[in-house]
Amino acid sequence: MRTQIKNLLRHALQGLMLTTAVVSTSVIAQESVLVGAPLPLTGPLSPEGTKLQRGYDLWVEEVNKAGGIAVGNKKLPVKIIYYDYQSNTPKAVQLAEKLVIDDKVNFLFSPFGSGATKAASAVSEKYGVPTLAPTASSVEVYDRGYKNLFGTFTPNDSLTEPLADLVKSGAPEVKRVAILSRNDLYPLALGQDFEKSAKKRGIEVVYFDKYPIGALDHASAITQIRSSKPDWIVVTGYINDLILIRKQLGDQKVRPVVLTMINGPVYQEFIDATGPLSNNVTTATWWHPAARYTSQDLFKSSENYTKLFKAKYKDDPDFTNATGSAVGVLLQLAIERAGSLDRDKVRASLAAGNFKTFFGPLSFSPEGYANSYIPPIIQVQNGRSAVLYPKAIKSGDFRLGLD
C-alpha cells in the first residue's frame, strides 16, 4: 500500500512535469516565439474551436515558411501550444495559467467566446501577459480596466447599428421589430444592442425575450412573435439554435420583411442545414471572404488570405477562421514593431494600434476592443452569401421579404 502511494505520487509528478520539461528548455534559449492557445476542441464549442485552430495553424505555417517573426535583428519561428479545455470555462482558466507558468509562453490567444475570454483574461492580467482575443465582442468582457487584453472584434453594437441603418434606409416600411435572444452572454448582449439600435431609429420593439440554452422547441415563442406582427425579426444565438428557429419560423409561415440571424448564416453549415429557408436571411459579421483589405501583414491582402486558406483547407474561410489568423498577424506585427519579445514593449505597441491587416485596419479602444473597421453586413442570396455593406466590398443588393 505504502509503495502504491509512492508510485502514484512519482508517476503523478512525472506526468505533470514532463510537458514542462520539454517546453521550458526551449524557452530558456528563446529559440522561438511561444504562444499559448487554450481551445474548445471537444464539447459544445468544438466546431468553433476547430475553426479557430485552422486559422492559427495557417498563420503559423506561413510565418515559419517565411523564416519566422523578426525580433530585432534575428528571426524566430513561432510555436503555438494548444490545450483542449473541453468547452468548460474553468478548465480554460486553469490551462491559461498552465500555459503561462508551466509552458512559459510569451503571449496568449484567449479561449473561444466572450464568457471564457472574460474568465481567462483575469489570469493573463495577473501575470501581465499580453493576450489577444480572437472572438470576444461583448463590451462586458473589456469593462474591467485590464491592460493586457486586445480583441479583434468590434463591439456588438458595431453589428447592430449598421444593420439597423440598412433596414431603416432599405426597408422604410419596417416599423415593428421582434427580438429573440439566447440567454447566454454574447447572444443576450447582442440582442440588447439590437433593442437599443432599433429604438434609436424609432422602430418599435414589439417583442423581446430570451430562450434557454439547449432549448429544443421554439414554436410557442414564434407563435407569440407572429401574433405581435413584426416587420423585422432578429434572432441571436448559435448555429444549432438558429437552424432550428429558422425551420420553425417556416413551420408557422412567419415571413417578415427582414429576418436577421446572428450568428450562423455566415457558415455554409447553416445554409446546408436550412436549404431554401436560408435565402434572404441577413446577418452581420466581422469579416467575410469578400473583404478587400490590403495589408502590411504576411498575407498581403484579404483576397490573398482567402486564396491561401482555400489552398490549405479546400474551403472558404469564415470569420472565425480569419480572426484566428488575424490575432496571429496582429501579434507578429506588434512584436516586429516592438523589436523584442518583452511583454511590456509588445503591450505598448499593441495599444498604439494602427495595424493594417487582411482582417481590416486594427486599432484598439482604451478598454482593448477593436474600434477601427466596419464589419460587413451579409445576406444569403440563392444559397450564397452576398455582402450588402460596406459599399467598398458590396456584392449584392438588399432583398426584402422571405421566400
Partner 1 sequence: MLSLQILINGILLGGLYSCIAVGFSLVWGVLNIINILHGSMIVLGAYAAFFAYSQLGIHPFAFIPIAGLSLFILGYGLQAKIINRVMGAPVLITLTLTFGLNLILDNMMMVAFKADYRKIILDPPLGLLELGSLLIPIDRLYAMVLALGLVGCLYAILRATQIGRAIVAVRMDRDAAALMGVKVKQIYAVTFATGAFMAGAAGCLMSVIFPISPLTSNAFLGKAFVVCVLGGLGSMPGVILGGILLGLLESFGTLWLGPDFSTTIAFVVLLTLLMFRPTGLLGKRGFE
Partner 2 sequence: MNALFCSKPAHIVVAVLFLLAFLFFPWVANNYLLRIGTTMLMYSALALSWNFIGGFAGYPSFATAAFFGLGAYVGGILQNKGIPAPLAWLLAGLLVTIFAVVIGRIILHLKGHYFAIASLVIGDVLREIINGMTSLTGGGMGLNLAAQKMGVTEQAQFFYFSMLTVAGLALVTTVLLDRSRLGFGLRCIEQNEDAAVRIGINTDRFKTAAFMLSSTFVGMAGAVYVSWTGYIDPGEAFEVLISVKPIVMTLLGGAGTILGPVYGAFLFLLLEETVWRNFLNIHSGILGLLVVLLILFLPRGILNTNLWSVVEAHARVLRTYFRLLPRFQGINLWAWVVRIIRNIRHQS
Residues that bind partner 2 (CB under 8 A): 1-5, 7-9, 11-12, 14-16, 18-19, 41-42, 83-84, 86, 88-90, 93-94, 97-98, 101-102, 115, 118-119, 122, 125-127, 140, 144, 182-185, 188-189, 210, 212-213
Residue 247 engages partner 1 in binding (rule: CB under 8 A):
yes
> Which does residue 73 touch among partner 1, partner 2, none (CB within 5 to 8 A, set by kind)?
none
**Measured between alpha carbons, how far is residue 320 from residues 6, 38, 287, 289 in Å?**
47, 15, 8, 11
Q: Is 147 an interacting residue with respect to partner 1 (CB under 8 A)?
A: no
For the CB of residue 216, give the shortest distance to partner 2 in the complex, in Å: 14
Tracing cell 478548465 back to the chain, one arrives at: 91
Q: By rule CB under 8 A, what string of x and - marks binding of each residue 318-337 to partner 1?
A: --------------------
Rounded to whole angstroms, how far apart are CA atoms 383 and 372?
30
Q: Which of 244, 351, 393, 400 binds partner 1 (CB under 8 A)?
A: 244
262 binds, among partner 2, partner 1, none (CB under 5 to 8 A by kind): none
d(CA 353, CA 355): 6
Exposed/middle/buried for residue 74 (C-beta within 10 Å: 0-12, 13-18, 19+): exposed
CB of 46 to partner 2, least distance (A): 8
Alpha carbon distances (Å) from 113 to 8, 30, 49, 52, 138: 37, 31, 10, 11, 9
124-131 long-range Cβ contacts below 8 angstroms, 24+ apart = 124/96, 124/100, 124/148, 124/149, 125/149, 127/97, 127/100, 127/101, 128/343, 128/344, 128/347, 129/100, 129/105, 129/343, 130/334, 130/343, 130/346, 130/347, 130/350, 131/107
Determine the size of the site formed for partner 1 (CB under 8 A). 38
Rounded to whole angstroms, the Cα distance separating 1 from 127 reads 40
Note whether 219 binds partner 1 by CB under 8 A: yes
Q: Are 336 and 71 in contact (CB under 8 A)?
A: yes
Q: Is 315 in the site for partner 1 (CB under 8 A)?
A: no
Is 98 among the residues that bind partner 1 (CB under 8 A)? Answer: no
Residue 151, SS3?
Answer: strand
In contact, 225 and 207? CB cutoff 8 Å: yes
Peptide bond into 73 cis (omega under 30): no
- Which C-beta is closer to partner 1: that of 29 or that of 216? 216
Nearest CB to partner 2, comparing residues 118 and 399: 118
Q: Which is nearer to partner 1, 204 or 269 (CB)?
A: 269
In DSSP terms, which residues pair with 356 in a beta bridge? 361
Residue 344: contacted member of partner 1, partner 2, none (CB under 5 to 8 Å, by partner type): none
From 6, 22, 169, 209, residue interacting with partner 1 (rule: CB under 8 A): 209
User: Site residues for partner 1, window 45-84 (CB under 8 A)?
Assistant: 46-47, 50
Using CB atoms within 10 Å of the CB of residue 46, give its burial: 0 to 12 exposed, 13 to 18 middle, 19+ buried.
Answer: middle
Instruction: Detail the DSSP E strand segments found in 265-333.
Output: 281-284
Backbone angles phi, psi at 292, to 5 degrees: -130, 55
> Minimum distance from CB of 334 to partner 2 (Å)?
24
Contact flag: residue 15 with partner 1 (CB under 8 A): no
- Verify binding: residue 227, partner 1, rule CB under 8 A: yes
- The one among 61, 217, 315, 342 contacting partner 1 by CB under 8 A: 217
By a kind-dependent CB cut-off of 5 to 8 A, residue 251 interacts, out of partner 2, partner 1, none, with partner 1
Measured between alpha carbons, how far is 108 from 353 in angstroms, rounded to an integer?
A: 18
Q: For residue 3, give the amino acid letter.
A: T
Q: Which does 354 bind (CB under 5 to 8 A by kind): partner 2, partner 1, none?
A: none
**Shortest separation between residue 57's beta carbon and partner 1, angstroms:** 17
Site for partner 1 in 271-310 (CB under 8 A): 272-276
Residue with cell 499593441: 350
**What residue ranges bind partner 1 (CB under 8 A)?**
42-44, 46-47, 50, 180, 183, 209-212, 214-221, 223-224, 227, 239-240, 243-244, 247-248, 251-253, 269, 272-276
